[in-house]
Amino acid sequence: MSKKLDTADETYMRWALSLAERGAGRTSPNPMVGAVIVKAGRIVGEGYHRRAGGPHAEAVALKKAGARAKGATLYLNLEPCCHLDKRTPPCVPLIIRSRIKRIVIAMRDPNPKVNGKAIAILRRAGIQVTEGVLKHKALRLNEVYVKYITTGKPFVISKAAMSLDGKIAFKKGSSTWITGKKARFQAHRLRNQADAVLVGINTVLTDDPRLTTRLSGMRSRDAHRIVLDSTLKIPLTARLLTQTSKVKTIIATTRRAHPDKIRALERAGATVCTVKDRDGQVDLSELMTELGHRGIASVLIEGGGKINASAFRSGIVDKLIWLIAPKIIGDLNAVAVLEGSVGSDPNQPVLVRNLSITCVGEDVMLEGYL
C-alpha cells in the first residue's frame, strides 16, 4: 500500500467507521462493521451490522446498491467474512458476484477463520484490495472483539466515578452522587454497550443496586449483571434478583457456597457460576475464562475499592474509564477507588498508557489502557 493515503479513501472510511459504531452494544460477540459503496464519486449503497444474527453490513450495502455495485469501490472497516457460521452466510461470495471492482479495508479480521483468507480470495477473483486505511481507528472501534476473538476472554473495563482525591463515596453505604449529571449519563452509555456489569457482594448488601441501563429518550438495553459473592451472602430479596429484566443475574461464587443457597438462587432465576477461590475470594482470572465460554465479550467493573484493586492485581483489566469530579473530600472514612495493592509487587506502580482526557460537563473523563 502507498505510504500516502488517498483523501477520498480516508473520507469514505471515516463514514464506514461511523456507520459501524451505530451497532455498539448490539453486535456482540461479533464485531461492529460498516460498509460504504462508492461509484463515480457518489455513495450508491451503505449499511452496518445492526445486531448479532442479523444481516452483515456488506449484504445491506450491496442490496441497496443493486446493479450499481458493478465497477464500484466498497469500503469496509473490517475484512469481510469468508467462513460459514451458525446464523449468517459469508459475504465474500456475495461481493464477488456483485462485480465490485475495488475494496478498501481498514484492518484484517483477527479471527483465525478469516485473517487474510478473505483478502486472498478477493484478489484471486481479480478484485483490487487496499488495506490499512485508518487502521488505528478501526482497531480502537473493535477492541472488544479483537481481545475476545484472539483470547476467548472478555475485554475488561474498570469504570469509576470519584473526587479529585480518589474517593468514590463519602463513607461506607453513602449514596451521594460525586460526579455530575452528564458523567452519570456517560456511565449508563457504557452499560448500554457492555455485555456485563460486575460488582462485589458488599455493593449489593450496601446499595441494593439494580445495575440496569437508564438512558432517557434513547433505546437502551440491560447488560448481564455479575456479582462476586464467594459464600453467597446475597439475599433472595435483592433487587438484582427480583426486578424485571431481559437478562439474568450471574452470581460468581466458590466451592465454599452452600448447595441449598445455590438451589434457592437458581429457583429465583439467577445463574450461579462456581469457580475456584484465591485467598478466599473468587478467582477473577478463572471467572473471565468462564464468562468467555458463556459468550460474554466485555465486562464493565463498577465495584468498590477492594474489587477494583483485586481486578488490577489479578491482571484482568484492559482499560480504565475514570470520571473525576472537581471536588476534594479528604475524609479518612471516605471510600477510596483502590483499597489494596494493584500489582504483584507493591513497590511497583501499574502503568497506564495512551491516556486521554475529555471534559464531560463539569467533570473530566480519563481513558487509558493497561
3-state secondary structure of 58: helix
Which has the closest alpha carbon to 156: 368, 299, 294, 292? Answer: 299
The alpha helices in the chain, defined as continuous H runs, are 7-21, 57-65, 92-98, 117-124, 135-141, 143-151, 181-193, 201-207, 239-242, 259-267, 284-293, 305-314
**Chain centroid, CA 333 distance in Å:** 33
Q: Which residue has the cell 483502590?
A: 338
Distance (Å, whole) CA 36 – CA 48: 9
List of long-range contacts for 16-21, beta carbons under 8 Å, 24+ apart: 16/46, 16/75, 16/76, 16/77, 16/106, 17/77, 17/106, 17/134, 17/137, 17/138, 17/141, 19/46, 19/47, 19/48, 19/57, 20/48, 20/49, 20/57, 20/77, 20/78, 20/141, 21/141
How far are the Cα atoms of 134, 186, 335, 344 from residue 311, in angstroms, in the given order?
32, 22, 17, 12
Q: Contact at 8 Å (CB) between 271 and 248?
A: yes
Per annotation, catalytic residue among 10, 21, 58, 362 = 58
58 in catalytic set: yes
Q: Is the dihedral of CA 121, 127, 133, 137 positive or negative?
A: negative
Which has the closest alpha carbon to 324: 89, 112, 166, 120? Answer: 166
Q: Contact at 8 Å (CB) between 16 and 54?
A: no
Give the residue numbers annotated as catalytic, written as ranges: 58
